[in-house]
Chains A and B, each alone.
Chain A
Amino acid sequence: MNRSKWRSVAGELRSSAFGIAGIIILVLFTIAAALAFLSPHDPNALNALERLKPPNADHWFGTDDYGRDYFTRALYGGRVSLTVGFASMILATGIGVIVGVVSGYFGGWIDNLLMRLVEVIMSIPSFLILLLLSVFLKPSVGNIIIIISLLMWMNIARIVRAETMSLKEREYVLYARASGQGAFGIIRRHILANLMPVVIVGATNNIASAIMMESSLSFLGFGVQAPNATWGSMLNNAQGLIAQAPYLAVFPGLFILLTVLSFNVLGDILRVGFEPKLVRR
């Protein structure tokens, strides 16, 4: 991918206060989640004396009904959310790009088959499948990543397929074919590099939806299991205690919102940056 596109993205980013805020938030959250072990508290340690304490100097976000430090749990919860988000994005993007390129480049029956498959999966409400699969499989972080990826690759596959079909007709690809280069070589040399913009935009939006799916799943009690914290399961717990300890509901939700919001904003900035003529006058 050429440098001018990145420069255009950088320009777009500089002129957007939202975008800069988004990057700062994501960097902060990532560092905080990575350094969670530095917290003096154990995220899962029970403490009957410190139950439901509102935020104070020792417990920045207060404690939950088991006396666990809510700040530390939020940090560990962020680990899960960000891990699931990134890993699902990578897996889903991988599947989507492969299916999309194969479908778009080769066309014919294989395209037909793959696209029908995409249609079928998209015709079943994905959240229901998500629930079902999480019931069938043991809900570990790994399994959740796999399940979410399996439900997210179709969008990327569709975009990549359309883009591949148009790239296939460009002069340089036609020339490469005419000069006898193999399909694999052409895809590697000419198609993949040019797919980067759409893939990056799609992947960014996918992180946002993966984090949202993971949170919803955890909130409903089908995600990563107790006692391990995730933002979603913390909210599940907070719902029952909303009358006594409303502060418990504030932080995990705010973190989900900020993280997903940042990825959505960045996705839009990337889209505008890569395709400036589409969006501007």
Chain B
Amino acid sequence: MRQLLIRRLLQTVPLLLFVSIVCFAMIKLAPGDPVLSFVTPNMHPEDIERIRHNLGLDKPAYVQYFLWIKEAVTGNLGYSLVNHQPVMDQILDRLPATAGLMGSAIGLAVLLAIPLGLTAGAYRGRWIDKLVNLVAYVGISVPLFWLAILMVYFFSIHLHWLPSMGMRTIGVNSAFDVLKHGIMPCVVLAFSFLAVYVRYIRSSTIGQLREDYVQIQYAYGSTKRIVLFRHVMKHVLLPIITLLGMSMGELVAGAIVTETVFSWPGIGSLGMTAVRGMDYPVIMGITLFSSVLLILGNLAADLLYGIADPRIKSKR
């Protein structure tokens, strides 16, 4: 187990380094001169050069990289070209909204996927399996933004049940209000992951039910329910940890789209605004931030799996 930990940590470091280089290279390769955003029409060329110098943009690229990475490590991701606010502050400001959305969506997806996937797998070929399978197929194939639009139409415009955008009603400050705003984004984001997890759990349930130890459970008087929830479930849940780590990238993509459609004030919509305004420091900051989260998420998933699975734990 300790070896696994050390090995994985050692793999993570160069990966983080590479990712940071790629991010930095993208800033450098981006068209347009970042200094120009600080320039006003009546500035002297010397002033422009001074700004360039102050920003460190007159130094060779590798020096700039080291300066940038040094700052990035200490939590300074630079300043927005648009509103000149620190990028890190903006990200941290938006983090709770995004974390809440992602967390609740993943939680909802996992909570629903376990019983659905187990049931579908256990009753393979019956109507319940066919139904779950159909919904899962639609789930992996439906464009999230379309689902979002349809939901807005039915629940906001047609039924007037739920607000169609934002996180709070202006002037209202209650948890219930945030919850009401959050239902649709959460359901939309959860849906595609639900589908992926259900398909996974279903097929691994089918596989597990064929194992000898399951047959033997029946020979010792177990009911199907006991077999499913006491024996098969643990097998099925373990790989979900890995699956969660792997779906982080998808989660970011989904969050960008969902936050944009519902104007949810999270990191995703911050990124979209930045992309529209060519605000490179913000874009790079978000890219680096989410890449690091992605890598650490995968690392955490691997380690958690190692702890949860007795077969790996004992292999040191």
Q: Which residues of A contact B (CB under 8 A)?
A: 18, 116, 119-120, 122-129, 131-132, 135-136, 208, 212, 215-216, 219-222, 232, 235, 238-239, 242-243, 246, 249, 252-253, 256-257, 260-261, 264-265, 281
A239 touches which one: B149, B276, B278 (CB < 8 A)? B149
Closest to A243 in B: B157
A219 and B30 alpha carbons, distance in the complex (Å): 23
A216 and B144 alpha carbons, distance in the complex (Å): 8
For B283, list chain A residues within 8 Å (CB): 128, 132
A165 and B253 alpha carbons, distance in the complex (Å): 32
Within 8 Å of chain A (Cβ to Cβ): is B19? yes
A249 and B18 alpha carbons, distance in the complex (Å): 42
A264 and B153 alpha carbons, distance in the complex (Å): 27
A264 touches which one: B141, B143, B252, B286 (CB < 8 A)? B141
Give 5 pairs: A residue, B residue, CB < 8 Å, sorted on A: A120-B18, A128-B253, A132-B287, A216-B145, A220-B256
Interface contact B141-A127, CB-CB below 8 Å: no
Query: Range of interface residues on chain B?
Result: 35 or more
Interface contact A131-B142, CB-CB below 8 Å: no
> With A125-B290, A249-B150 in contact, is A219–B15 under 8 Å at CB?
no
Interface contact A127-B150, CB-CB below 8 Å: no
The DSSP consensus for interface residues of chain A is helix
A127 touches which one: B30, B157, B252 (CB < 8 A)? B252
Within 8 Å of chain A (Cβ to Cβ): is B138? yes
Interface contact A124-B261, CB-CB below 8 Å: no
Within 8 Å of chain A (Cβ to Cβ): is B60? no
Interface contact B140-A264, CB-CB below 8 Å: yes
A249 touches which one: B26, B140, B149, B295 (CB < 8 A)? B149
A128 and B19 alpha carbons, distance in the complex (Å): 13
Closest to A231 in B: B143
For B298, list chain A residues within 8 Å (CB): 123
- Give a binary string over B185-217; 1 marks a CB under 8 Å from any A CB, 0 the rest: 000000000000000000000000010000000
- Contacts A18-B137, A243-B157, A253-B143 known; 4 new A-B pairs at CB < 8 A: A124-B23, A219-B257, A235-B149, A264-B140
- Give a binary string over B12-48; 1 marks a CB under 8 Å from any A CB, 0 the rest: 0011001100110010011100000000000000000
